[in-house]
Amino acid sequence: MSYTLLYGTRAPVRVWTDPWTIEEGATRQLRNIGALPWVEGVAVMPDVHYGKGATVGSVIAMRQALAPAAVGVDIGCGMSAVRTNLTDADLPDDLGALRSAIEAAIPVGFQAHAHPVNPYRVHGLPTAGWDTFWSRFGDLHEDVGALRSRAERQIGSLGGGNHFIEVCVEQGGAEAGRVWLMLHSGSRNIGKELAERHIAVARRLPHNADLPDRDLAVFVAGTPEMAAYRRDLEWAQEYAARNRAVMLALLCGVVRDAVPKVRFDEPVSCHHNYVAEERYGGVDLLVTRKGAIRAGRGDLGIIPGSMGTGSYIVRGLGNTDAYCSASHGAGRRMSRAKAKKTYSVADLTRQTAGVECRKDAGVVDEIPAAYKDLDAVMKQQSDLVEVVAHLKQVVCVKG
């Protein structure tokens, strides 16, 4: 599919889905973003839906400006996956015990490790840069200084909501049956705390007084507010990446204990809620991907569906009209509140048949029917990515 243009905007807003299928609130958000004087262009992914601060499934390219609420509170949220040498026949017969072992090794929901994970004692975890990374904590926003202990203990923890850990099996092709490990998480509480403080600062700046949406308040280049935000943003993005690296190493350890012969390929990892400096059309831009992955030519990425529908490993095609981006998942078609009112635990049990996972009221809002059809989403971005592997989960851990 090629893009269509959303009408009535100052900057081009290119849409990789039928614009008439986008909910009214999300369309209004996209028009407000496209009207900002700093915006060079917006690319709208097929998983687009209304979000807090800015539309989820959007790529916002700005000249010399950033909107902290568009990045959001889960700075650096993203995915990691690794292929193993195992096949589904090698997995333990008792997948419930495997899920319990994962939950014992990796805290979920609001939980954290009792003591910080020592990165030098985790098998397979890269050890470079940890001391330098933590030494920069003292440079962050002064209000978060007391949160260091919590941030240290949350490294290597999952969180809740749509974050997950999965054991997956590859579908079709020459590698059918191959086992993959996958997870989705971000910068935990410290990312949220940093984001909220900077969002509040941006809203008070005089140049943001007349914006159509106060959540689109921006920092501009050359100001101390922008410098402070980018310092904290880059640290939180690194925190998120290190959090996933620790979790993946712990997850690999659980599988190694269950199946000692396991071996692991190089991991695939990608942010889908972050800012990057990129150049398009000879112009240096600050690109905010709010629920989107980078899909430069050859880039490997991960596009998950829901806890019952599987995921895709993809390779980017480098489409510059989309600022070399692709969707970060299927995208919600229904709010969490509506999903809880619409579906029951029995519905969840039916829709997750064959998956070892929670099947209770606490995760009904994550029911597969609350998400868009992943295969349809993939077809709409066939000019953005190509499929490398189609995975289906057999174990799913959620907070």
**Alpha helices (H) in 36-136, listed in sequence order:** 68-71, 95-105, 130-135
- Termini Cα distance of the chain: 36
**How many residues are given for the chain?**
399
Distance CA 326, CA 316 (A): 8
pTM of the shown model = 0.96
* Beta bridge mates, 62: 39, 286
Torsion (CA) 246, 393, 59, 23 in degrees, nearest 10: -140
pLDDT at 1: 64
Distance CA 54, CA 218 (A): 12
Question: Which pair of structure tokens corresponds to residue 335?
Answer: 């709010």
pLDDT at 214: 87
Total Cβ atoms within 10 A of residue 361: 11
The tens place of each residue's pLDDT in the chain, 399 residues long, gives 689 999 889 999 999 999 999 999 999 999 999 999 999 999 999 999 999 879 999 999 999 999 999 999 999 999 999 999 999 999 999 999 999 999 999 999 999 999 999 999 999 999 999 999 999 999 999 999 999 999 999 999 999 999 999 999 999 999 999 999 999 999 999 999 999 999 999 999 999 999 988 889 999 999 999 999 999 999 999 999 999 999 999 999 999 999 999 999 999 999 999 999 999 999 999 999 999 999 999 999 999 999 989 999 999 999 999 999 999 999 999 999 999 999 999 999 999 999 999 999 999 999 999 999 999 999 999 999 999 999 999 999 998
* 328 a catalytic residue: yes
Name the active-site residue from 198, 272, 328, 390: 328
